[in-house]
């Protein structure tokens, strides 16, 4: 059995917060004096590691009139530092076979490297460098703004589904922190200044607003020593303001949009449980029972039996401040939007009336279990799970407790959640019509 | 049958992959989409179970069946916790050996397929890919959409599907992959009722690919009015996976546009901000392959970006990669190797891909040596033998206003315009 780490085997200024054993592997939660948190999942099965730097800042932290800042800044992080010229960061990583990328969401921004594990020190030195020594210039901002404008054209302005989703979140959340798009409104992207970027970096890119998730062929003492060396000297920030958790009351708004699509669609957004709410586990099961599997209720009813749609997709997104349950119904020819929507509601009512059998529940749990095991095979997915849960909820153990929580979900809970979140609520709804169709005002 | 097995005692589940060389390139003329429908119908019921019963029983085991049809092959993926392996074997016996060819289920499947085809056309990137494949292999079975055309799909009958399955889903054509917590002997024993009873089938003769006969740039504008940004794909046919030119050409391509710091990406994205995504890639199958450059600039940048990428491609073919660039690419690929085999599923995917594309059996074990063996002269020979900058196929999906500038592009041998709505089978 592998020996665990003790507080006195860590470098000074680095403390062990918690640890947990999973099979023959171990996860450690450490913290430096400057507030930087480290999550280390040791696994020596393959000579690789995933290294991820998570910041507690996403588009939900922006003012609604300054949208797109977190995302544009993510692009700028790959530019220049006091030590390294523009482009050098990527070049050094790629020369060593290290893949790098980043992503911004509503609650967080993260930067990732997939590396051959012998390059851990190199990656930590480079990441610590850009956390504290970043340099920005107007020309870099201008070029990267053009790239982001193109990204917006690609993902939103020339993509009917992207466009609909942007409008739907805005209708649903209004002036709530989730009401503006992560990529930003085009006018806001154009208005971002160099000073905005510098202020954003100063406010949010500090060690006490960040955490490092490392998974793979590494030793916790090694990670701690390198963190102490490279990140230890970075001073704490001045405090990163976090948006308050507040009750959001959706108004059940409705809109029609004419877009260049071949077939009509119904897009729905219901308020769902947010991250950490006990009902999020129930929705993992419900996603299998209602829409995720070929034999799920809505695919069986709307797609196969009634043939009202050519596809039905849905997704539960448990963000930090609020949850969203999205549906997309792609209409079959000659089926009206209202017919499909009414059929969806009718199917959900029948689900509540009939209930869930023990066998259906067991099958759904089996599928979630399979998905969970499969998703945790690559080191990158595990690091992402640790980083996501710790950043969103301050509780990385959520990742390791999923199956345990799942076991406790009952058929009655499934029925109650459908009633409460989907039948008793009025969704935000957009009916997408093919261009040329008549759109009601 | 060829079988590949990756044992891993800690996974707790077993993933299986069943592939047949039964892709869309085997669709008979006029029945485009047959390979795709044949594979999809396989999971729509058996002689003993309805579609719904089969789905319920497979999904109870934790299995989310995957069906994927490409130009060269049809693939089925099934996985389940090891404790359910025998139940999975029993169900797959029915799926592969007791098929049903239900008229009603086929009609329902076709209706869903038409919806999928429409959805695909609504997405610029997916539609652009579709038209590029058709332009690159115009008139050849490699070129038509994998899902077929609306008219050809309408023509396909259950008898067509029965005949296709009997000819192509045969034991000697099966490529079986297994990864997970199960010894190969135990797997074979549990699946004996499937593996031991597959029909033998017959040898399938494949016609030679038709040449791409346009002299000069072959430009196709696919119009979607109102678009402010275009999807651009520039490329040509390249080499199959077993070609001696494959590895040197791959290194030249990765060094040219396969990383964030590659010259093509640097010039189009980093220096000019013309496109969010930029890439050059090399794909290789068993019989053919393709080289592609892709980017998505706003309308006013489309022509400059095409001209610049063609100029850069020309320079690559004239001189090959520089020594510095080649050394960088070698180091990048060799150091990336552990990720190719990071998990049991990743290793199995590599093994199956190597087998399907006809690469040497020791390709995975000798991958790093093969990469290291590439020299500037061998890369230059590969790009000069395979790539023809003046005979690229260029597909632009965007606003009709792009027609005039594109038609004036220097070196155009053929220029065509099609609406994105276009969907019809062309008589050969």
Residue B124: left if φ>0, alpha if ψ -120 to 50, beta else—which one?
alpha
Residue whose structure tokens are 């949009």: A257
- The C-alpha of B255 sits at a distance from chain A's nearest C-alpha, in angstroms, of 11
- B269, A147 Cβ separation under 8 angstroms: yes
What is the Cα–Cα distance from A54 to A210, expressed in whole angstroms? 5
Which pLDDT band, with edges at 50, 70 and 90, does B428 fall under? very low
CB B80 within 8 A of CB A370: yes
C-alpha–C-alpha distance, residues B332 and B98, integer Å: 48
Nearest to B296 by CA among A156, A102, A91: A156
Nearest CB among A95, A157, A366 relative to B328 is that of: A95
pLDDT, one tens digit per residue, over A402-437 is: 888 999 999 999 999 999 999 999 999 999 999 865
- Cβ pair B9, B75 in contact under 8 A: no
Mean residue pLDDT across chain B: 94
| Binary contact (B345, A374; C-beta < 8 A) | yes
Q: Is A36 on the interface with B (CB under 8 A)?
A: no
Q: How far apart are CA B235 and CA B134, in angstroms?
A: 12
| Cα(A266)–Cα(A337) distance, integer angstroms | 6
- Helix and strand numbers, DSSP H then E, in chain A: 15, 14
Non-local (6+) Cβ contacts of A155 within 8 A are A162, A183
Q: B14, B43, B53, B62: best mutation site toward chain A, by most A Cβ within 10 Å? A: B62
Q: Does A334 touch chain B (CB under 8 A)?
A: no
- Name residue B297's beta-bridge partners: B275
What average pLDDT does this structure show over A325-336? 96
pLDDT (tens digit per residue) in A110-155:
999 999 999 999 999 999 999 999 999 999 999 999 999 999 999 9
Answer whether A95 sits within 8 Å of B332, measured CB to CB: yes
Q: Are the Cβ atoms of B62 and A260 closer than 8 angstroms?
A: no
Backbone angles phi, psi at B171, to 5 degrees: -55, -45
Number of H helices, E strands in chain B: 17, 11
Q: What is the mean pLDDT of residues B103-107?
A: 95
- Residue A8's pLDDT band, with cuts at 50, 70 and 90, is low
A7: helix, coil or strand?
helix
Backbone angles phi, psi at A71, to 5 degrees: -70, -45
Interface contact A297, partner B, CB < 8 A? no
Give the model's pLDDT for residue A240. Answer: 82
pLDDT of residue A439: 55
What DSSP character marks residue B215? S
Residue B210 has pLDDT above 90, yes or no: no
Terminal Cα distance for chain A, rounded: 69
Of A42, A62, A74, A113, catalytic = A74
pLDDT for A441:
42
Residue A261: Cβ-neighbour burial (10 angstroms; 0-12, 13-18, 19+) = buried
pLDDT grade, residue B81 (50/70/90)? very high
Closest-CA residue to A166 (of A139, A184, A192): A184
Cα separation, A195 vs A201, whole angstroms: 10
The C-alpha of A261 sits at a distance from chain B's nearest C-alpha, in angstroms, of 6
**Beta strands of A278-383 (E only): which ranges?**
309-318, 323-331
- What's the token pair of residue B420? 């994105």
pLDDT tens column, B16-53: 999 999 999 999 999 999 999 999 999 999 999 999 99
Please state, in angstroms and as integers, the Cα–Cα distance from residue B212 to each residue in B140, B217, B290, following that order.
9, 11, 12
How are the residues of chain A apportioned to helix, strand and coil, as percentages rounded to the nearest 5? 45, 20, 30
Phi, psi of A392 (to 5 degrees): -75, -45
Distance CA A79, CA A197 (A): 13
Cβ pair A178, A120 in contact under 8 A? no
Give yes or no for A183 touching B (CB within 8 A): no
User: Does ipTM surpass 0.90 in this model?
Assistant: yes
Contacts with A88 (C-beta within 8 Å, 6 or more apart), sequence order: none
pTM confidence score = 0.94
What residue of A is the nearest CA neighbor of B56? A295
Does any CB of chain B come closer than 8 Å to the CB of residue A153? yes
d(CA B305, CA B311): 10
Active site residue A80: no
Beta pairing class for B275-284 and B393-398: unpaired
Nearest to B20 by CA among B286, B312, B314, B394: B286
**Residue A23's closest chain B neighbor by CA?**
B10
Of chain A residues 255-294, which have a CB less than 8 A from chain B? 260-263, 293-294
Cross-strand pairs, B397: B222, B231
Pick from B66, B58, B114: nearest CA to B91? B58
Say which residues have a Cβ less than 8 Å from residue A382's Cβ, sequence separation at least 6.
A41, A43, A50, A215, A376, A399
List the single residue in A145, A293, A366 with the smallest CB-CB distance to B81: A366
**Higher per-residue confidence, A175 vs A169:** A169
Instruction: Report CB contact under 8 Å: B122, A260.
Output: yes
If residue B410 lies in a helix (H) or strand (E), which one and from where to where?
none
pLDDT, average across residues A31-48: 96
Selected residue of B56, B276, B305, B346 to mutate for chain A interface (largest A Cβ count, 10 A) = B276
In whole numbers, what is the pLDDT of chain A averaged over residues? 94
Residue A386 has pLDDT above 50, yes or no: yes
Residue B406, SS3?
helix
Residues of B in contact with A114 (CB under 8 A): 339
Residue where the block lists tokens 């970027």: A197
Tell whether A242 lies on the interface with B, counting CB pairs under 8 A: no
**Smallest Cβ distance to A369: which of B81, B121, B228?**
B81
The pLDDT tens digits for A353-378 are 999 999 999 999 999 999 999 999 99
**Smallest Cα distance from B229 to chain A, Å:** 7
Contact A100 B259 (CB under 8 A): no
């Amino acid at each position: 059995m592998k020996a665990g780490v003790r507080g006195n085997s860590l470098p000074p200024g680095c403390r062990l917060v918690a640890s947990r054993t999973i099979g023959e592997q171990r996860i450690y939660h450490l913290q430096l004096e400057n507030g930087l948190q480290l999550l280390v999942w040791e696994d020596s099965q393959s000579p690789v590691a995933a290294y991820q730097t998570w910041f507690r800042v996403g588009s939900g932290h922006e003012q609604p009139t300054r949208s797109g800042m977190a995302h544009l800044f993510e692009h700028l992080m790959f530019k220049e530092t006091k030590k390294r010229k523009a482009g050098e960061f990527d070049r050094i990583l790629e020369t060593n076979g290290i893949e790098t990328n980043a992503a911004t969401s509503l609650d967080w921004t993260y930067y990732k490297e997939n590396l051959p594990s012998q390059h851990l020190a190199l990656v930590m030195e480079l990441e610590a460098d850009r956390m504290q020594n970043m340099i920005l210039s107007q020309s870099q901002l201008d070029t990267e703004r053009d790239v982001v404008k193109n990204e917006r054209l690609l993902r939103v302005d020339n993509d009917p589904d992207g466009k609909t989703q942007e409008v739907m979140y805005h209708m649903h959340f209004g002036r709530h922190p989730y009401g503006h798009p992560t990529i930003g409104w085009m006018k806001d992207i154009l208005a971002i200044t160099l000073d905005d970027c510098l202020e954003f970096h100063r406010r949010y890119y500090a060690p006490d607003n960040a955490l490092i998730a490392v998974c793979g062929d590494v030793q916790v003492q090694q990670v701690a020593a390198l963190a102490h060396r490279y990140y230890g000297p970075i001073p704490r920030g001045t405090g990163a303001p976090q948006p308050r958790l507040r009750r959001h009351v959706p108004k059940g708004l409705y809109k029609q949009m004419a877009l260049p699509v071949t077939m009509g669609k119904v897009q729905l957004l219901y308020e769902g449980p947010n991250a950490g709410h006990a009902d999020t586990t129930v929705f993992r099961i419900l996603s299998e029972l209602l829409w995720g599997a070929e034999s799920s209720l809505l695919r069986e009813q709307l797609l196969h039996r009634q043939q009202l749609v050519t596809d039905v997709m849905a997704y539960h997104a448990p963000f930090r401040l609020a949850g969203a349950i999205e549906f997309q119904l792609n209409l079959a020819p000659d089926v009206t939007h209202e017919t499909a929507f009414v059929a969806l509601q009718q199917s959900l009512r029948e689900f509540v009336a009939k209930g869930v059998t023990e066998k259906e529940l067991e099958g759904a749990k089996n599928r979630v279990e399979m998905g969970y095991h499969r998703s945790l095979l690559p080191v990158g997915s595990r690091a992402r799970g640790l980083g996501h849960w710790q950043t969103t909820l301050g509780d990385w153990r959520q990742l390791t407790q999923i199956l345990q929580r799942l076991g406790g979900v009952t058929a009655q809970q499934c029925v109650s959640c459908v009633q409460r979140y989907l039948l008793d609520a009025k969704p935000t709804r957009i009916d997408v019509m093919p261009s040329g169709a008549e759109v009601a005002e | 049958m060829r079988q590949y097995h990756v044992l891993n005692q800690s996974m707790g589940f077993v993933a299986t992959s069943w592939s047949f060389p039964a892709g869309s390139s085997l669709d008979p003329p006029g029945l485009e989409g047959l390979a795709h429908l044949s594979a999809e119908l396989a999971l729509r019921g058996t002689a003993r179970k309805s579609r719904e019963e089969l789905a319920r029983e497979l999904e109870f085991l934790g299995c989310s069946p995957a069906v994927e049809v490409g130009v060269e092959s049809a693939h089925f993926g099934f996985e389940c916790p090891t404790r359910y392996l025998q139940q999975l074997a029993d169900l797959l016996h029915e799926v592969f050996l007791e098929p049903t060819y239900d008229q009603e289920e086929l009609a329902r499947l076709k209706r869903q397929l038409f919806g999928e085809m429409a959805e695909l056309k609504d997405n610029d990137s997916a539609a652009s890919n579709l038209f590029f494949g058709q332009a690159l292999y115009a008139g050849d079975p490699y070129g038509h959409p994998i899902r077929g055309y609306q008219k050809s799909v309408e023509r396909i009958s259950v008898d067509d599907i029965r005949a296709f399955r009997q000819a192509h889903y045969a034991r000697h054509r099966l490529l079986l992959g297994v990864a997970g917590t199960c010894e190969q002997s135990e797997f074979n024993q549990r699946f004996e009722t499937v593996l031991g009873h597959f029909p033998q089938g017959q040898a399938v003769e494949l016609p030679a690919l038709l040449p791409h006969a346009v002299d000069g740039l072959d430009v196709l504008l696919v119009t979607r009015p109102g678009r402010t940004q275009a999807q651009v794909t520039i490329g040509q046919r390249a080499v199959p996976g077993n070609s001696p030119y494959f590895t040197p050409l791959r290194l030249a391509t990765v060094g040219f546009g396969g990383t964030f710091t590659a010259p093509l990406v640097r010039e189009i994205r980093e220096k000019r901000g013309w496109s969010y995504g930029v890439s050059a890639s090399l794909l290789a199958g068993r019989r053919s392959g393709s080289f592609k450059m892709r980017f998505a600039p706003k309308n006013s940048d489309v022509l400059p970006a095409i001209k610049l990428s063609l100029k850069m491609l020309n320079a690559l073919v004239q001189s090959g990669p520089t020594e510095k660039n080649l050394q960088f690419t070698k180091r990048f690929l060799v150091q990336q190797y552990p990720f190719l085999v990071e998990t049991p599923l990743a290793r199995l995917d590599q093994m199956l891909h190597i087998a399907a594309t006809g690469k040497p059996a020791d390709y995975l074990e000798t991958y790093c040596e093969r990469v290291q063996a590439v020299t500037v002269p061998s890369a230059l020979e590969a790009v000069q033998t395979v790539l023809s900058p003046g005979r690229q196929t260029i597909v632009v999906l965007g606003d009709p206003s792009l027609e005039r500038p594109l038609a004036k592009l220097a070196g155009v041998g053929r220029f065509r315009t099609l609406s994105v709505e276009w969907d019809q089978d062309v008589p050969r």
